[in-house]
Structure 1
Amino acid sequence: MAESFSHKWGQIIGNFIQDFIREKLQEVAFGQGFYLDYQRKRKARSSKRVSWEDRYGNSHDLDYVLERGGTEDARGLPSAFIQTAWRRYTKHSRNKAQEIEGALFPLAETYSHLRPFLGAILAGVFTPGSLSQLQSKGFEILYLQYDSIVSAFASVGIDADFDESTTESDFRNKIAQWNKLSEQDITEIKNYLLNIEKTSIKNFINTFNQSFSRRIQSVTATILHGLSQPMATIEEAIEYIENYQETQSTLAPALKYEIDIRYNNGDVIHAIFQHKAEAIRFLRTFA
């Protein structure tokens, strides 16, 4: 079945929003020294998709991830998970909010020791209920309203407004106008949207940056040595611990490396590693 012009016009607006948002996120990434990953080819992964796995082995496709210590060749530690969504009608907004929550919340739990920022950048028409649903789960929201998007397109002479009564002929005209735009015209639309949504964007970016502004207060590293002692019952385990001589010297190998990073805002990042190299790599991402 051929793609409808109405669907194609919706994709044009959605792609425009993605480009607009990526520029803002890249500015934050540069400023904080993070790597911004988004859907494209990257040597650190096998496909164009940005996909992260939760603790249950479920994979989640994401729009943007800011990584601490990430490079083109190696994936870093997640500092922010961000999803975007463009919707024209309120009837789709609740489902999209649930979809975003379903993708990011399991990852937030999995990487809770890293305290990742959770963001949802929504454009178009979303109900207050769908927004509050995400906010109640700890998401920071940037909401670019439908009227603002229409006004931004109007700045270069395109009537971007549409509804269920808009004809395919009207959509063809909108698409034809878009295809004739120069890079300067598209930049003008972005600047207009940036200006009209100036307060919302500024508040979101400030909150985004502030989530990384905490300062390390102390770092505690504990290296645990010992030999695993398998036992069949709880009673045997109790007896073993009761009889264990805590002051005895030992040549037992290191079992794991526990690291606590405490911040001046009360946050604590707790990480456990089985190998020395992993612990060192983790610490170096904060250096």
Structure 2
Amino acid sequence: MPGPIDKKLVLEGLHARLTLDVERIAALPLTRQQKAQHVNALISQQRNRLVAELAQLPEDQRGTAALIVQYCCTVASLEYRHKVWAYEYMAFSRRIGELWEAFCSTAWTYPADKTVERIAPPTFSDVRQTLLDRITGNLGIHDKSVEIMTDVSTLFEIVGDINMREDEVFKKREIPYVIDFKSGFGSNEKGNMLRLMTVGRAYKIWDHRTELMLLVRQEENNNYLNVLRRSELWQVYTGRDTYQKIEEITGADIQSVRDEVIDWPADLSESFYRYLKSQPTDLTSYLAW
């Protein structure tokens, strides 16, 4: 259950440390983008300070505390960036995606399940070599083996390099897992869907045991997500099922933090929350965490 640190005290501390500095940045003769960069750097400094203090807690309390810290820094990040560059729809939706992913990834930084261990993702050259070795082994002394391998190499040249980086790549009890976080799947996600299909197949070549999981914030999504679900290549979880899966994998108490700590209307300033609701598209819908 949440409780190793006090959300109210963390937020009060952030406001006390940030308010005057952000007012100073707002008055500088800079572009809005430059001001936002300065504000984001301040938030990052405060987050690093709070994370460093987690080491003083008992180890079994650090995971929950880290989630609370990440949420509080998210509140501050949204609030103070808005003071120097007011959010519009695309910027807010993109930023929410980044911050929600960071919140979820905190569960892998402090996993309660100690069999969970982040690993470096393979390169596509690793995948290519694995497949070439498999084909070579299956061909044996086939009299056309040289021609066949030449054709395979040509195919790889046509495909080009594939970026294998994903949001979380880790092992749990020696089984590799790959996690891709998405805030939501909209009508513009066809390219991302095709990329996930390609990357997923590449990971299965690298190690056929790899568990591929797509964790999505929104409950309602475009049909492209259903295409991925029907492919049975990726395991797809949305909404509350996403948090349940994170908890199942890492042991993090993320569902309790979600239910008992996250409270956007109370934690954001009244003026900022009202601004989000007043936009042509109600931006508070992106705060359905």
TM-score, normalised with respect to structure 1:
0.39
Q: Which has the higher helix share?
A: 2
Q: Which structure's CA Rg is the greater one?
A: 1
The structure where strand makes up a greater share of residues is 1
Q: Higher relative contact order at CA 8 Å, sep ≥6: structure 1 or structure 2?
A: 2
